[in-house]
Structure 1
Amino acid sequence: MDKPVFLLPTSQNTVLNRLLAPFFPRYKVLLELEKQPPHLRGTLRNLIMTQDHRLLFLRNQKCACTQTTQILYAYANHGEPHKGNVHRADRGILPARYRWMEIKPYFEAHVPYFFTFVRHPEARVRSAFRNFFVDQTNIARHKHMGPMRAHGFDPAQGEARNFDVFLDYIAHSFELDRLNTDTHWRLQTDNIAFRDITYDHIGRVENYEADLRHVFAQAGAADFPLDALLARRFNSTASARADITPEQRRKIETLYAPDYEALGY
């Protein structure tokens, strides 16, 4: 298949990044992470640590990662969430995209309570589809719009047909380079390095509130006022309008078989 697909770069050790690294932390982090095994670089860049070093969170895209990051930010900021894009915040929380070298010793010593969230593969892939290609609210959507059109995406053709196109696009991405597929629809077992990293807790989006309360309690922060924050929704995606077809479900089960098996869905 010769249709284009947007894939993540295999290496960040570029001339531009080397030139910018002395001046901007995000580029220095990219080069530091080049010292890690290739399949862990993206994962480690998605770590978020609280300022008191009690909690360490791994962002698994389309699995309440914005919601959880906002709550972690509020935890250190008098209950107030971040007013902008929390994934670009470099104060109030310690994101590895800017602070990997600071997080690294805590991660390696397994000092903070370390957790992540996973989600039913079917719900997750439908959420990604709507976020990028129906609501078109994801800031990275422009990277995929051209390749998706080349695969047959056409808003005038309706959501059900375009979801078929999206599943074909995912299959093509996996065929070319599963590891460097966009993290919003890459396998969750790849996103969280399931076979390589040990977590204190892997929560489920389907049981989000109870799991998050458990995490804070285990980290010694059970008194943090979660109620008001849990009632808010950050970066929520509307439910798909079209029902999923049996054929689409079979495609998802085939594409995400490692997630179904490893995560117990």
Structure 2
Amino acid sequence: MEQARTIEQSFRASYGRYAARYGRHRLNYKTNISARYRYVYVETAKVACSSIKQTLQSAEFGRPGLRYAHPQDVHRRELSPLLRPEQFAAVDVFTAPDFFRFCFVRNPFSRLLSAYLDKIAGGKPQKAKILGALGRPEDDFSHPVPFETFVAIVCDQDDEAMDLHWRPQSTETMIEDVRYDFIGRAERFEADFAAVLNRVGIDPALYASRQDAHRTGADEKLRMHYTCEMEQRVVRRFARDFALFGYPPEIGA
């Protein structure tokens, strides 16, 4: 009994360390735990997270084809059947051997452009802080922000100042603390996600779902938006992402 209590206290201490390092809200928002299928999915914004969560929540509910009335509801944790680390505080789900841990990553050039097209050019709330950085009123959404300006602002931000939609993936995946069993790529999403679903016991044919509300087609638009100078600036700022996840530090390589 005493040994079990000591182990539980150790796990709770681990949760406290993760919460202190990443922030309690951020940690619990991004981490999706299945008690039914015994997996941990750490999400990264702008890397098919809407599609992944739609599928995983549908399977957890046991309701194929589940769709929320509002696409954004898939991101509301209070509606999700997937659990948060604070609900599993007695178990270190980031290292425990009986959980399958996975995440997905994306080419940093494409992810940054997709964030811009969706959130900044698309006039979403994330534009407000970029406007503020330019000295503009944060509610002046009619003011255009060129991609080059956005890149300059973002590349001068530290990780904590960044919005989660463009914060480095090496930070968002908590790569230093999570013992991943699988890191999938957005560039081969269908095959990699099907492999994940099969591994945890979810039938892809029954549950796999694609959520297109935030798709921007950024992968095909890189040369239209990046100059050589912008390309190099992104390579320097996101150097760890390029290195850790094996993406070439040049467009079209």
- TM-score normalized by the length of structure 1: 0.72
Cα displacement string for residues 153-195 of structure 1 (whole angstroms, at most 9, x for unaligned residues): 99666x7xx1111111112212xxx244222111110111212
Question: Which among 189, 208, 212 is matched to residue 233 of structure 1?
Answer: 212
Aligned to 1:5: none
2:76 maps to which residue?
A: 88
- SS of match in other structure, 2:78: coil
Alignment of 1:33-72 (within 5 A): 35-36=17-18, 38-41=20-23, 42-43=26-27, 45-72=29-56
Deviations 1:81-101 (A, max 9, x none): 3333211142442242xx622
| In 1: Cα distance, 2:107 partner to 2:31 partner | 21
> 3-state DSSP class of the match of 1:189?
helix
SS in structure 2 opposite 1:203?
strand
Q: What code does the residue aligned with 1:169 have? A: I
Distance 1:54 1:73, change over 3 A: same
Contact 2:31 2:40 in 1 (8 A): yes
1:34 Cα shift?
Answer: 5.8
Aligned partner of 1:182 among 144, 159, 163: 163
Q: CA deviation at 1:47?
A: 0.4
Q: Which runs of 5+ in 2 are unaligned?
A: 1-13, 248-253
Query: Within the alignment, does 1:263 sit opposite 2:249 as a pair?
Result: no
Partner of 1:130: 117
Which secondary structure state, in structure 1, belongs to the residue aligned with residue 156 of structure 2? helix
Q: CA RMSD in A?
A: 3.0
The 3-state SS of whatever aligns with 2:154 is helix
CA distance in 2, matches of 1:111, 1:164: 46
Residue in 2 that maps onto 1:18: none
Other structure's SS at 1:94 match:
coil
Q: Which residue of 1 aligns with 2:4?
A: none
Name whichever of 83-92 and 209-218 sits farther off. 83-92
Misfit runs of 4+, over 4 Å: 32-35, 153-157
One-letter amino acid of the counterpart of residue 168, structure 1: A
Equivalent residue number for residue 183 of structure 2:
202
Q: Shift of residue 106 of structure 1?
A: 6.1
Q: Distance in 1 between matches of 2:123 and 2:152?
A: 19
| Equivalent residue in structure 2 for 1:142, among 117, 120, 128 | 128
Identity of paired residues, percent? 21
Q: Are the counterparts in 2 of residues 58 and 192 from structure 1 also a CA contact under 8 Å?
A: yes
Map Cα deviations across residues 55-98 of structure 1 (whole Å, 9 max, x no partner). Answer: 321111111111111111121331213333211142442242xx
Match of 1:121 among 98, 102, 108: 108
- Separation in 2, partners of 1:51, 1:224: 22
- For residue 18 of structure 2, give the secondary structure of its aligned residue in structure 1: coil
Within the candidate set 211, 222, 227, 1:245 is matched to 227
Q: How far off its partner does 1:217 sit?
A: 1.0
Q: Deviations over 1:33-65 (max 9, x none)?
A: 765364333345410123514332111111111
Separation in 2, partners of 1:154, 1:222: 43
For residues 126 and 111 of structure 1, do their structure 2 counterparts lie closer, same or farther at Cα, with a shift above 3 Å needed? same
**Contact residue 46 and residue 59 of structure 1 kept, 8 A:** yes
Output the TM-score relative to the length of structure 2. 0.75
CA distance in 2, matches of 1:52, 1:37: 24
Letter in structure 1 aligned against 2:47: C
